[in-house]
Amino acid sequence: MAAKTRNDPPRSGETVALSRTEERDVEKLSPPRAAVVFETIRREGQTELERAVFSLFASGLAAGLSMGMSLAGVGLISALLPAASWVPLATSAGYTLGFMIVVLGRQQLFTENTLTAVLPLLNNPDKLMTLRRVGKVWAVVLFANLLGATIFAYAAAHTPIFSPAVRAAFEQVGREAAAPAFGTIVVRGIVAGWLIALMVWLLPGADAMRLFVILIITYIVGLGSFSHIIAGSIEVLYVVATGGISWLQYLGGYLLPVFIGNVIGGVSLVAVLNYGQVVSD
């Protein structure tokens, strides 16, 4: 059979005729189908559901500690800048640091698990067993993340790692994170959960642009002061460590509403909607 050339007439629906080599180029340059992205993330989620508890815990603890770099990045930049309306444009760049370490380092972060661990649940006929596994992953990863966050916050508050100016910036950031009302934190948490889960959805097709996807989306999360359960907890826990607010205020006034918001954003707006898109196809 003769190879197709560009001199051949175009097939039905084509504007121009392409050679076999050019057809392969089209396939190579075409973005992956939504079903391919879905299946990539679903398989990753299935792997997470099958991991041992200690493996999840160790990875989650590492992620909680690494997310402290977001607070460090914001504080270090803020301490060097004058008080001005444009300062958040610069400090939000520091906010991306923890996410970059966690995502590229393949560490377990709770807001990523709201997407990856849920996709196998939506697609599995044995939903009760899978639901138990999702609950295990969520509980272990969230506990480990928050433990790492607490360790970092208390170390930052009670050791000379950071200068007084940087610690003062930490205090201000933490108080601003804890200040909004319950409902406001829920709504901001929905946006943060949606953006972080959306980032996970975008990464399989990003290839060499993975770093830029992480930086751009997490920069917007920081710039918009959208509430993230781990990054924000480190900020608020710093104020708890310095005695500025109580543990009860943190648990009821920040952790609970941001948990609700992040889960709604990650599960409802990304996992369920994208699952519906793939099922429809």
For the segment 60-103, what is each residue's pLDDT rounded down to a tens digit? Answer: 999 999 999 999 999 999 999 998 999 999 999 999 999 999 99
Most confident of 21-25, 122-126, 197-201: 197-201
Whether residue 53 contacts residue 220, with contact meaning beta carbons closer than 8 Å, is answered with no
Q: How high is the pLDDT of residue 1?
A: 46
Cβ(84)–Cβ(165) below 8 Å? no
Joined tokens for residue 86: 């444009």
Q: Look at residue 164 and tell me whether its pLDDT is greater than 90.
A: yes
Q: How confident is the model at residue 171 (pLDDT cuts 50, 70, 90)?
A: very high
pLDDT category at 256 given cuts 50, 70, 90 is: very high
Q: How far apart are CA 281 and CA 276, in angstroms?
A: 9
Q: Identify the pLDDT of residue 125.
A: 64
Q: What is the pLDDT of residues 25-55, one digit of tens each?
A: 666 666 667 777 778 888 888 888 888 999 9
The answer to whether residues 163 and 232 touch, using CB atoms and an 8 Å cutoff, is no
pLDDT value at residue 39: 81
CA distances for 27 relative to 24, 87, 260, angstroms: 5, 44, 41
Query: Average pLDDT over the chain, rounded to whole?
Result: 88
Select, from the ranges 118-132, 143-157, 257-271, the one with the highest average predicted confidence (pLDDT). 143-157
Q: Is the pLDDT of residue 145 over 60?
A: yes
Mean pLDDT of 269-277: 68
Task: Please give the share of the chain, as a percent, with pLDDT higher than 70.
Answer: 85
CATH architecture of structural domain 31-280: Up-down Bundle (1.20)
- Of 252, 212, 223, the C-alpha closest to 95 is 223
Q: Is 39 exposed, middle or buried, given 0-12, 13-18 or 19+ CB atoms closer than 10 A? A: middle
The better pLDDT of the pair 202, 212 is held by: 212
Domain coordinates in residue numbering, the chain: 31-280
SS (H, E, C) 67-121: CHHHHHHHHHHHHCCCCCCCHHHHHHHHHHHHHHHHHHCCCCCHHHHHHHCHHHH
Task: Encode 122-148: b = buried (16+ Cβ within 10 Å), e = exposed.
Answer: bbbeeeeebeebbeebbebbbbbbbeb
Are the C-beta atoms of residues 69 and 98 closer than 8 Å to each other? Answer: yes
